[in-house]
């Protein structure tokens, strides 16, 4: 069994505040997520006897791997022994094409694809609404990828997903050889820019098409509140900003092809 695991970009990303969730403080946001259909990893379940849960193709310690975290989450939440049995007899193989630390959601997309595949092969009696709610504990972008919308308005901690029907854009993406640490970028935002946020931030974009939003904005910081924070942590990003707009916590820039 093999499935594609698509990248995304944030057409806009506005921080609306900070709240407690599961005992921790998280930033809240308004954003537009759009799938990038020409950039994807693949996730495959390959028959093989395995003494422990086995992942190949990702150069990350297993305990830190978001797919492994998704596996543990499903086990703990469902208690379904079919999941344990299946992964005694299959390994997970990931073919990575989405750069890591690039603001393109590769890890969250992988986890969501894995969860959907497990739901199918193990016939889990659990709704996507439930899966979105529990998976947001391990990755704020996972709910968007679970629903599989081409475009959606995303709010709250990332768990509120509303499909936005529009034409897909032919996007060109540039990712410098720089891995941005999401936690460090958000920490820089909290320490330097949090007092500038307001709860209505980004609402003016929610009913506008992604094409219109991109064609009327000028600079990365116009649409992405995290860009200034990312520059504090990674000042070298400044040399790339003329390429286009900034996705997530970086490091990728994107634009409509030909613009």
Catalytic residues: 8, 141
| Residue 146 · residue 115 · CB < 8 Å | yes
Inter-CA distances, 205 with 166, 252, 259, Å: 14, 21, 20
Q: Give residue 160's region: left, alpha or beta (phi > 0; psi -120 to 50).
A: beta
Give me Rg for the CA atoms of the chain.
18
Tokens matching residue 167: 């034409």
Residue reference for tokens 């208690």: 79
In terms of DSSP bridges, do strands 90-95 and 151-156 run parallel, antiparallel, or are they unpaired? unpaired
DSSP string, 62-113: GGG-HHHHHHHHHHHHH--HHHHHHHHSEEEEEE--SPTTSSS-HHHHHHHH
Burial class (CB in 10 A: 0-12, 13-18, 19+), 249: buried
| Residue 88 · residue 71 · CB < 8 Å | no
């Amino acid at each position: 069994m093999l499935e594609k695991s698509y990248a995304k970009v944030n057409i806009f990303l506005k921080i609306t505040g900070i709240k407690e969730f599961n005992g921790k403080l998280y930033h809240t946001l308004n954003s537009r997520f759009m799938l990038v259909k020409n950039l994807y990893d693949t996730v495959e379940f390959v028959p093989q006897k395995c003494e422990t849960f086995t992942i190949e193709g990702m150069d990350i310690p297993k305990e830190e791997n978001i797919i492994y975290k998704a596996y543990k989450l499903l086990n703990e939440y469902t208690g379904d022994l079919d999941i344990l049995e299946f992964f005694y007899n299959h390994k997970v193989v990931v073919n990575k094409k989405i750069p890591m630390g690039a603001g393109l959601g590769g890890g969250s997309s992988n986890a969501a694809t894995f969860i959907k595949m497990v739901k199918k092969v193990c016939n889990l009696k659990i709704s996507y609404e439930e899966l979105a709610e529990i998976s947001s504990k391990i990755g704020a972008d996972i709910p968007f990828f679970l629903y599989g919308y081409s475009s959606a308005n995303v709010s709250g901690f990332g768990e509120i997903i509303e499909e936005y029907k529009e034409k897909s854009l032919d996007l060109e993406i540039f990712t410098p050889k720089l891995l941005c640490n999401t936690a460090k970028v958000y920490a820089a935002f909290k320490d330097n820019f949090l007092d500038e946020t307001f709860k209505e931030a980004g609402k003016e974009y929610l009913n506008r098409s992604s094409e219109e939003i991109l064609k009327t904005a000028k600079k990365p910081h116009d649409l992405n509140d995290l860009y200034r924070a990312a520059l504090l942590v990674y000042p070298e990003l400044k040399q790339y900003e003329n390429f286009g707009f900034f996705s997530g916590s970086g490091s990728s820039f994107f634009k409509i092809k030909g613009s």
